């Protein structure tokens, strides 16, 4: 008998924030139920990053409803974040002038975020 998997994903690419800062918030919401994760992001101190994650989770819920709208009932299943990955994106390289005619390189990092949502049966 084949087991049906119900996983939905959403991604956010090229966010102008370093992956290290994004992972701080990603670790807070990893393996949490979707509603609890949204509450955590609402009251997080890193406002800009948590707003980006909140938009991503709302997009993820929208993807879930598009795919499983007819078979989805809130009482029957709990939706949780199965996996969340934050990878490094493109790096913009800039030069900053320093004394004696030299230049130091500044790296403006960006990140790519990938989130997977899964349902688990309520016990």
From its phi and psi, is residue 31 left (phi > 0), alpha (psi between -120 and 50) or beta?
left
Q: Answer yes or no: is 38 within a domain.
A: yes
Q: How buried is residue 115: exposed, middle or buried, by Cβ count under 10 Å (0-12/13-18/19+)?
A: buried
Task: Give pLDDT, residue 3.
Answer: 57
The pLDDT of residue 41 is 95
Q: List the domain range (segments joined by +) for residue 47.
A: 7-121
- Residue 2 maps to a domain: no
Does a structural domain hold residue 44? yes
The runs of H, that is alpha helices, within 12-82 are: 19-29, 34-42, 47-68
Please state the domain count of the chain.
Answer: 1
Residue range 47-87, pLDDT digits in tens: 999 999 999 999 999 998 888 876 655 555 688 999 999 99
Provide the pLDDT for residue 90.
97
Domain membership of residue 1 (yes or no) is: no
Inter-residue contact 122 to 76 (CB < 8 Å):
yes
12 contact partners, CB below 8 Å, separation of at least 6: 52, 55, 56, 112, 113
Query: Where does the pLDDT of residue 26 fall: very low under 50, low under 70, confident under 90, or very high at 90 and above?
Result: very high
Is it the case that residue 46 has pLDDT exceeding 60? Answer: yes
How high does pLDDT run on average in the chain?
89
Q: Does residue 22 lie in a domain region?
A: yes
- The CATH number of residue 71's host domain is 3.90.470.10
Residue 16 forms part of a structural domain:
yes
Question: What integer pLDDT is reported at residue 39 of this predicted model?
Answer: 95
pTM, entire model: 0.84
């Amino acid at each position: 008998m084949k087991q049906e998997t119900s996983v939905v994903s959403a991604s956010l690419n090229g966010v102008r924030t370093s992956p290290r800062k994004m992972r701080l918030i990603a670790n807070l919401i990893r393996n949490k139920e979707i509603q609890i994760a949204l509450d955590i992001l609402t009251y997080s101190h890193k406002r800009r990053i948590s707003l980006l994650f909140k938009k991503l989770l709302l997009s993820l819920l929208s993807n879930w409803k598009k795919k499983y709208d007819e078979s989805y009932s809130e009482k029957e299943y709990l939706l949780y974040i199965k996996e969340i990955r934050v990878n490094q994106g493109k790096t913009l390289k800039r030069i900053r002038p320093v004394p004696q005619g030299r230049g130091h390189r500044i790296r403006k990092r960006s990140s790519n975020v990938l989130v997977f949502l899964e349902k688990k049966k309520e016990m």
